Amino acid sequence: MKEKQLLMIPGPTPVPPSVLLAAAAPMINHRGPEFAEALAEVTAGLKRVFQTQHDVFVLTASGTGGLEAAVVNMLSPGDTVLSVSIGVFGDRFASIAKAFGVKVESLDFEWGTAADPGKIRERLAADEKKEIKAVLVTHNETSTGVTNDMAAIGPIVREHGALVLVDGISSLVAMDCQTDAWGLDLVVAGSQKAFMIPPGLVFVAMNDRAREAMQKASLPRFYWDLGKAKDYLKLGQTPWTPAVPQVFQLRAALRILEAEGLQACFERHVRHGAAVRAGIGALGLKGFADPKHASNAVTSVRKPDGVEVAALRKLLLEKYGVVLAGGQQSMKDKIFRIGHLGYVSQSDIVATLGALGLALKELGMDVDAAAGAAAAIEALGG
Choose between 42 and 367: whose C-beta lies nearer to its own copies.
42
> Which of 38, 74, 75, 96 touches its own copies (CB under 8 A)?
96
**CA gyration radius for the chain?**
21
In this structure, the chain runs to a length of: 382
The β-bridge partners of 78 are none
Choose between 153 and 297: whose C-beta lies nearer to its own copies.
297
Q: What are phi and psi of 152, to 5 degrees?
A: -85, -45
Residue 240 CB, nearest distance to its own copies (Å)? Answer: 4
> Which of 54, 100, 121, 158 touches its own copies (CB under 8 A)?
100
Q: Is 278 one of the binding residues for its own copies (CB under 8 A)? A: no
Q: What 3-state DSSP class applies to 223?
A: coil
In degrees, to the nearest 5, what angle opens at C-alpha 81 toward C-alphas 75 and 84?
A: 130
Q: Is 232 one of the binding residues for its own copies (CB under 8 A)? A: no
Q: How many residues bind its own copies (CB under 8 A)?
A: 53
In degrees, to the nearest 5, what angle opens at C-alpha 184 toward C-alphas 117 and 216?
A: 115
* C-beta neighbour count of 102 within 10 angstroms: 24
Binding mask 303-342 for its own copies (x = CB under 8 A): --------------x-----x-x-----------------
Q: What are phi and psi of 182, to 5 degrees?
A: -90, 0
What is the maximal distance between C-alpha atoms in the chain?
Answer: 66
Q: Is 198 one of the binding residues for its own copies (CB under 8 A)? A: yes
> Which of 78, 118, 161, 220 touches its own copies (CB under 8 A)?
220
Q: What are phi and psi of 104, to 5 degrees?
A: -110, 120
Q: Is 168 one of the binding residues for its own copies (CB under 8 A)? A: no
Q: Is 28 one of the binding residues for its own copies (CB under 8 A)? A: yes
Report the interface residues with its own copies, using CB under 8 A: 5, 7, 9, 11-15, 20-21, 23-32, 60-65, 68, 95-96, 99-101, 190, 192, 198-200, 219-223, 239-246, 317, 323, 325
